[in-house]
Structure 1
Amino acid sequence: MEKLIKFLIEKRILSFKFISSLRYALKFRKWPDFKEPRTINEKLLWLEFHTDTSQWTECSDKNLVRKYIKDKGLEDILTKQYGVYYDVDDIKFNKLPSSFVLKTNNGYGTVLLIKDKTTVNELELKAKLKQWLKEPFGYKTGEPHYTRIKPCIVIEEMLVADPSISSSLVDYKFWCLNGKVEMCFVCTDRDIAHHSATFCAYTLPDWTRREDWMSPKFKSEGNIPKPSKLQDMMRYAEILSTDFPLVRVDFYEVKEKVYFGEMTFTSNGGRMAYFTEEVLLEMGGRLDISNIKHGS
């Protein structure tokens, strides 16, 4: 089925809305309700297909979003950027530091953590990057705002995780509805190669773990310590979410310094199953779209 969906999207035989709805139906065994959307999944899909999402494209672009961050006065939370390349052959590895992060500006999972560049086969690496740039991200998932991003390779500094807490950087994902932070969805022990991670949710600002918010498949044990810069991250998230009815803003904290991760408007393509149905409905109820102007 996935291959068929990919084929139909690439050939433009079906609309994005139909493909997105089909994927939703395959996940939840029902079609999304666009006339009276109720859950957060349905409302984010409604926003995708009934409003102007041109700014979503800018802020979903892992390179262009940096301008948005700077314009909001938050340049200090950006990681160091070593280069942006639309042609992989332009990358000069001999001029890069010994460790860095390679990623596409438009995809999911297209990330490489280079801990020691002397161990990397440059030809093989460039071949992988060229393949990534050819992938039509957004078509297969039914997310048209991603398809408007011009693909490139972004090279940034590598942030180091605290192994006592997580094998990967702790990813603090702040859900913002109508410009206000509602909760923090935390991702730890991420395995990029196998697309796996551990998830949990916390109330704000008290940082109470709410395992009951998670669906059975995503329940986990353990507790993530309250980040020292939680109040700063909450403030940054609300500054960055001001222009949008719905957005998830992600941060990292390394040695008590906050770093911007990314902004996401259609989490899991509008097919989130991390939360229970009750939580999805509650989040949807808190998102007011009644006065939003139709833009597309």
Structure 2
Amino acid sequence: MSLQKILNKGKRFISDPHYRLRSMIKMGVYNSLSDEAFLRKIFPKYMGYPLNLDDPRTFSEKMQWMKLYDRKPIYTTMVDKYEAKNYLADRIDSKYIIPNLGVWDSFDEIDFEALPNQFVLKCTHDSGGIVICKDKSKFDKEGARRIINMSLQRNFYLIAREWPYKNVKRRILAEPYIDELGSADLLDYKMYSFHGEPKLTVVCSERFSKGGTRMNYYDVDWNYINLSILHYEPSNRTFEKPPHYEEMISLCKKLTKDYPFLRVDFYDVNHRLYVGELTLYPGAGFIKIEPMEFDYKMGEWLHLEGIHRS
């Protein structure tokens, strides 16, 4: 790392409290805390108000409550990028699932000769750490090794105490490279479902732009909701319903009917609908919603009564 990059990181560490907090978490400053103590300490730093676990009202508070007390073993399967596909295949048509090319325990086990010219590598337990190969003749194998091995070493659970990640087996997954999924214009549709009923959809756009990802919110009838989440400002674009919107609704209901909350991510590309992933705690429950009244509204949609405390 160059001296200038080190200086820039140092300046950001001093000036940006959220960056400083994330850096301290990654450095392991809070590793010794219990899950509850960690969440009570970190939540106010992200959200600006104390965490009430005795009588949670906001969606963000209820996400933390569920991290601590709604601990179904199936959740570990659902966040495992490899096992989640088997889980989905038992519930929906395989045409909606991006297929696997292989799964390995270590980078050295990967048979690159057997992989197609274009592919994607990712780790099963982590978020980020993705390697995209568009032309195997130009593939930087050693660069890929560094990225994947760094990801394999990362304990994703400790970052926000999303406990389902704690026991995910750390493996490397290869998938086909789907050109449309790497497009700068790709739209990612994230559907929030409460007790089996989709309530709103987030349209993520401009994911690879210099300005960063934009997020626009729509209710189930596709009416625009004026929200701002963290640093994800809404796009100035107006988004129409995706071509397979009704199909998304149907799939979402099927996949979420047995759970108090679940987010289902979709891609609607090239006349095809794909399920990207299942998410239990969007933004780890640290998504500062403005206006805050909507955080309370989303909290009203999520009923904790009757959830068996694991």
Match of 2:252 among 221, 237, 243: 237
**CA drift at 1:69:** 0.6
Matches within 5 A, 1:194-233: 196-204=212-220, 206-210=221-225, 212-215=226-229, 217=231, 218-233=233-248
Aligned length: 288
Could you tell me how far apart the structure 1 residues matched to 2:93 and 2:50 are? 40
The one-character-per-residue Cα deviations of 1:81-140 (angstroms, maximum 9, x if unpaired) are: 111111111111122111122111122222222222221121221232112101111102
Does the CA contact (< 8 Å) of 1:44 and 1:246 recur in 2? Answer: no
Instruction: Indicate the percent of aligned positions where both proteins have the same amino acid.
Output: 25
The AA in structure 2 aligned to 1:71 is D
Cα gap change, 1:275 to 1:236, in 2 (>3 Å): farther
Distance, in Å, in 1 between the alignment partners of 2:55 and 2:132 is 43
Structure 2 gap segments, 5+ residues each: 1-20
**Counterpart pick for 1:137 among 156, 160, 179:** 156
Alpha-carbon distance in structure 2 between the residues aligned to 1:111 and 1:215: 24
Q: Please name the residue that 2:286 is paired with.
A: 271
> In structure 1, the residue corresponding to 2:101 is in which secondary structure?
strand
Q: For residue 250 of structure 1, what is the aligned residue in structure 2?
A: 265
Between the aligned partners of 1:144 and 1:216, the Cα distance in structure 2 is 23
CA distance in 2, matches of 1:126, 1:216: 32
Q: How does 1:1-296 map to 2 (within 5 A)?
A: 1-6=21-26, 7-10=28-31, 13-161=32-180, 167-191=184-208, 196-204=212-220, 206-210=221-225, 212-215=226-229, 217=231, 218-295=233-310
Cα distance in 1 between the residues matched to 2:126 and 2:290 = 23
- After TM superposition, the score normalised by the length of structure 2 is 0.86
Assess if the C-alpha contact under 8 Å between 1:176 and 1:237 holds in 2.
Answer: yes
Once the two structures are superposed, residues 267-286 of structure 1 have per-residue CA deviations (whole angstroms, 9 ceiling, x without a partner) of 11110125531111101101
| SS of aligned partner of 1:221 | coil
Q: CA deviation at 1:168?
A: 4.7
TM-score of the pair, normalised by structure 1? 0.90
What amino acid is aligned across from residue 5 of structure 1 in structure 2? I
Q: 1:231 to 1:103 in 2, by over 3 A?
A: same
The one-character-per-residue Cα deviations of 1:23-76 (angstroms, maximum 9, x if unpaired) are 211112222111111111111111110122322111011110111111113322
- Paired residue secondary structure (1:196): coil
RMSD between superposed Cα atoms in Å: 2.2
Which letter does structure 2 place at the counterpart of 1:291?
G
Aligned partners of 2:170, 2:283: CA distance in 1, in Å? 20
Q: CA deviation at 1:232?
A: 0.6
C-alpha change, 1:111 and 1:281, in structure 2 (3 Å) is: same
Distance in 1 between residues matched to 2:218 and 2:180, nearest whole Å:
20
1:162–1:240: structure 2 CA closer, same or farther, 3 Å change rule?
Answer: closer
Aligned mates of 2:306, 2:208 — CA distance in 1: 40
Deviating more after overlay: 73-82 vs 57-66 = 73-82
Distance 1:85 1:184, change over 3 A: same
Inter-partner Cα distance in structure 2 for 1:209 and 1:175: 15
Which is bigger in relative contact order (C-alpha 8 A, separation at least 6)?
A: 1
Amino acid at match of 1:200: N
Question: Is there any run of 5+ residues in structure 1 with no aligned partner, and where?
Answer: none
- Give secondary structure in 1 for the equivalent of 2:294: helix
